[in-house]
Amino acid sequence: MAENFRAPRGTQDFVPPESGRLNELEARIHVLAARFGYREIRTPVFESTELFVRGVGAQTDIVEKEMYTFADRSGRSLTLRPEWTAPVVRAALEHHLFALGPLRLYYIGPIFRYERPQKGRYRQSHQFGVECFGFPGPEADLEVISLAWELVRGYGIDDAVLNLNSIGDERCRPAYRDALIAHFSPHLAEMSEESRLRIERNPLRLLDSKDPVDVPYVQSAPALESFLCAPCREHFDALKSYLDLAGIPFTINPRIVRGLDYYGRTVFEITSSVLGAQSSVCGGGRYDGLVQSLGGPDVPAVGFALGMERFLMMLQARDSQAQAPRRGLQAIALGAQARTVLAPIVAELRRTLEAPTFADYLERKLLAQLKIADGNRARYALILGSDELAAGEAVLRDLEHRSDRRVPLGSIRVLVELLVEAGL
RNA sequence: GUGACUGUAGCUCAGUUGGUUAGAGCGUCGGUCUGUGGAUCCGAAGGUCGCGAGUUCGAUUCUCGUCAGUCACCCCA
């Protein structure tokens, strides 16, 4: 199949019925976020490149090799949004939203990362996320985690796991870094090449190594938890008991480190086994220093980002073939004359009914049209042929109970009332 | 960015030790059934065998390149 054009590598089209599932997910997200008192923010799909370099961190993979960066016609360096947090903070600063006190925002839309695509990883993907600004305490951490967990729970997904960790703050993390370096340095010669590189760039990442060679050294490494300073420990302990009280199960996972520079204290991840190597569907944490580092006031913040494609994959793994309930009506005209009579009725039904009205305008037999009605999962069929035309009536067939009844065609209004009464 | 595997009809896949007209199931369309539905049976349409080059008398088959997909690494949503 030599199509001339294809979607660019790593991008995908959402066609029915997948587009419908995405739509439904978005609708639920809007309702859920509103229930938690969050309001939506939309920002441009591209921003100044410098915003991401400063916001995400110059040493991160995102900035070093994954950004879609281009120069516009006047030579400005712009970048397609690789993540939402920095733009949200930028916009909040630009519109002085922090002056109003604590701020709760959510976003939903595409991000772009130049990566090698594979299952659950795309160059354009869609994220839903929330940012909660202005609360330094663990209540805010609980709030955003609950919100994410509600979404998962609301869909009845049972194999999702909440992983939790604290990576300390700028007071205690340096000491832990030093301790890690001190622990690993004597053994570097026997460890993986990967780890030798990591110790320079991000010693915390050593803990993440899956290389069997490294395992003994990782296991004997000092635990971060024992290095937490008193305030960080207190924060972490409080969050854990809050989660217990809220009935949200979690696993302490010291290997969750987060790749973006701005995280501190709480970090968490929701994972699912159905996603394969990209098991993380939602990741977030606290980033108290970010607003200030982007030139704003000292505003604490916590939030998460959730991958919508991956979320949909979880849903599909769960209920692959649940049949949609029947809904709406299929208008069936047999012959040209019946079509002319039915066309204005279809128009009126579409103005009036909330359920969908389906219609096919080809010259087809009744059998074929009923098959189409089935495909559309219509609840009723309104059949108009020469017999009915002569009698000034139509046949209203209940496709679920397989029963017919005749309805008068004279008044469209009466017909509509009948249909509404019938549950449309 | 690295490595491995894959690429034949709308979908899932056969197949050709290189040889005239490339197959099946599902789906679509039509008939069976002048007008009552996810079934049966019959039939039809639908393919530059991802794209390009090379080897060869001849390539869908072999080789190389390229594009795309899958998986792992890296990293993340």
Per-residue pLDDT of chain A (424 residues; tens, 9 = 90+): 334 677 888 998 888 888 888 999 999 999 999 999 999 999 999 999 999 999 888 878 888 789 999 999 999 999 999 999 999 999 999 999 999 999 999 999 999 999 988 888 899 999 999 999 999 999 999 999 999 999 999 988 888 999 999 988 888 888 888 888 888 888 877 777 777 777 776 777 777 776 667 777 777 778 787 888 999 999 999 999 999 999 999 999 887 876 666 788 999 999 988 887 778 999 999 999 899 999 999 999 999 999 999 999 888 777 655 567 888 899 999 888 888 888 898 998 898 888 899 998 888 888 888 888 988 888 889 999 888 888 888 888 888 888 888 888 776 667 777 777 666 6
Q: Count H helices, E strands: chain A?
A: 15, 16
Is the separation of the CB atoms in A346 and A375 below 8 Å?
Answer: no
DSSP A119-176: TTB-SEEEEEEEEEES--SHHHHHHHHHHHHHHHHHTT--SEEEEEEE---TTTHHHH
Rounded CA–C1' distance between A7 and B73, in angstroms? 26
pTM: 0.88
Q: Is the ipTM of this complex over 0.90?
A: no
What are A266's two structure tokens? Answer: 């709480």
Asked whether residue A335's C-beta has any atom of DNA/RNA strand B within 7 A, the reply is no
Q: Which residues sit opposite A305 in a β-bridge?
A: A129, A283
CA A388, CA A395: separation in Å to the nearest integer?
7
Read off the tokens for A12.
Answer: 């995908």
Q: Which nucleotide is nearest to A202 (CA to C1')?
A: B75
**CA/C1' separation A324–B28 (Å):** 22
- Strand B nucleotides with an atom less than 7 Å from a protein beta carbon: 1-3, 8-11, 28-38, 47-48, 50-51, 67-77
Helix (H) or strand (E) holding A393: strand A393-398
Q: Which two tokens stand for residue A263?
A: 């995280």
Determine whether the distance from the CB of A47 to the nearest atom of strand B is below 7 Å: no
Instruction: Give the CA-to-C1' distance from A151 to B76 in angstroms.
Output: 21
A229 burial (CB, 10 Å; 0-12 / 13-18 / 19+) is: middle
Angle at A149 between CA A143 and CA A152, to 5 degrees: 150
Cα A329 from Cα A378, distance rounded (Å): 5
Phi, psi torsion values for A6, nearest 5 degrees: -135, 160
